[in-house]
Amino acid sequence: MRKLLVPIFIGFLSYLLYSFKLSNAIHYHPDLARDLHEILKITQGDFTLLGPKLTFGGLYTGPYYFYLFAPIFFITKHSIFAIYAFNAFLFSFAVGYFFKKAHEKYPLWKAFLATALFVFVPIFLIGSRNPSNAYTFLPILSVIMTYLYFHRSYKRSAIFFLGLTSGIVVNFHFLNILILPVVLSFFLFTKRKGESLLFFTVGFFSSFLPLLLFEVRHGFVIFKNTVIDKSYLAWIQNRNIPGGLEGKKNILENIFFMADQMKQLTIVNPLIIYAILGIILLRKKPQKKFLAVYFGPLISFLLFTAIIRYQFIPHYLPATAFLLFFGALIVFLETRFTYLLLAFLVAEIVFFPSYLYTSSWRKPEPFEKATNYVIENGIVTKDSQFNIIQITKENLLAPIGFEYRYFFRKRGYIPQSEFAYNTSKELLVFSEVPDFDLPKFRSWEAEQFGVERLKKAKKYRVDALTIYHILK
């Protein structure tokens, strides 16, 4: 029991940091509202086989991210704050687990120093305050990497479970497939490589059963949409997101570009760190696991830079950035240059991202208030076949309005699908733009409903929001 007290205490301290002013971190953006909507449906008995939709073609991820938060959401009677608090707990658990395993191998001061780097690295600070499929997998990946490195041998059941959990990480975002070069490299040094690979593979592909079941039930619609109808070309041509960023087409140039982008998550440019470590390794005869933890992340990074040349979104970075951070940390711990980690810890503290603790500019309360106004004034009823559009300044956010759909469903009012505007009998338009000229509004959703009907809208005001109600 004593061996657990210190890791629990360290995990608790990290939780205090990650949860400090956590209510300020609630940024009610469309992806969060979409996720809350889907998690709410699960807690109401409407189960799903799909997770969030990706920007690549018509791909959907697996549903594990939604189901991970469903129990705490149900227990707390749909508290958005509980989602954030549970997410912070997951990161704190990963910190405590890392310290426990590090202290079993290294002296106490080394374990403390390495764990402190874990606690203050920006990727963990950011992820702990941003529940999403872009970050919430990081504690799981951290536990996987910690287990792989610090255990001397792996049982068959453990290898299967590692495959399953690795598959779950990939089901948060398919770009996380790049963790495989790192994870699999550990099994290359086991005595029974073939057997290890078999059990891992079975576990890994088992995680995709929900998606396979969905595809079988729906005539492989995801595969047809993405591959046969070639919707993936919109990602390659970077035309599926307005103003989408791009990487560098030249792979060598992209290596330096992506390394510079990852610097915001790891404090120091990972290429600089790995160059230093490479020089150190030339003077040391490393163990086989040591090679895996150094070269595995580098391979993943090179594959990442080869893939992410056509479209770039910052939330593509976390998995590869974390692998590079973890690999560098372990290599430093295994050399006589461990004291250099103190310099990195000082840099983490000096460049601490204090902006994470400022209040979000997009809170859920105004959206809930507008929703309640519509319901309490009888603008729509539970039997209404209504749909929703939101208008934001410069159209920065998704027009389908999950920010409102979530609160309507929570009150028992179910809007029609975002794909069913053409059959909807009523339309609610929530505008954040004052005195918006609604008849001139154009979007796919409005055109499906009928733009000629926008002239007949009834207008309501709730604080800074304007609500339009249109009947067919």
CA–CA distance, 185 with 166 (Å, rounded to integer) = 13
Per-residue model confidence as pLDDT tens digits over 309-341: 888 888 899 999 999 999 999 988 888 778 889
pLDDT score of 281: 75
Per-residue model confidence as pLDDT tens digits over 74-124: 999 999 999 999 999 999 999 999 999 999 999 999 999 999 999 999 999
Distance of CA 364 to the CA centre of its chain: 20
CA–CA distance, 165 with 180 (Å, rounded to integer) = 12
Kind of pairing, strands 426-431 and 386-391?
A: parallel
Spatial neighbors of 22 by CB under 8 A, at least 6 apart, are 81, 84, 85, 88, 129
pLDDT score of 152: 76
Residue type, 286: P
The pTM of the whole model exceeds 0.75: yes
Dihedral sign for Cα atoms in the order 433, 435, 438, 441: negative
pLDDT score of 34: 95
Looking at residue 405, the DSSP 8-state letter turns out to be: H
CA–CA distance, 204 with 167 (Å, rounded to integer) = 5
pLDDT score of 117: 96
What is 228-296 written as a DSSP string? Answer: IS-TTHHHHTT-SSTT-B---SSHHHHHHHHHHHHHHHHSS-HHHHHHHHHHHHHTS---HHHHHHHHH
193-to-116, 154, 186, 284, 287 alpha-carbon distances in Å: 35, 11, 10, 26, 17
49-to-27, 63, 285, 315 alpha-carbon distances in Å: 26, 6, 48, 23
pLDDT score of 337: 79
pLDDT score of 209: 96
CA–CA distance, 417 with 400 (Å, rounded to integer) = 9
- The helix/strand/coil state of 431 is strand
Which helix (H) or strand (E) element contains residue 363? none
Closest by CA to 400, choosing from 369, 427, 370, is 427
Per-residue model confidence as pLDDT tens digits over 369-397: 999 999 999 999 999 999 999 998 765 66
Taking the alpha carbons at both ends of the chain, their separation in whole angstroms is 67
pLDDT score of 285: 65
Sites in the chain below the pLDDT cut of 70: 1-2, 189-191, 234-235, 237-244, 284-289, 394-397
pLDDT score of 277: 85
Collect contacts of 159-162 with beta carbons under 8 A, ≥24 apart. Answer: 159/187, 159/196, 159/199, 159/200, 159/203, 160/199, 160/200, 160/202, 160/203, 161/203, 162/200, 162/203
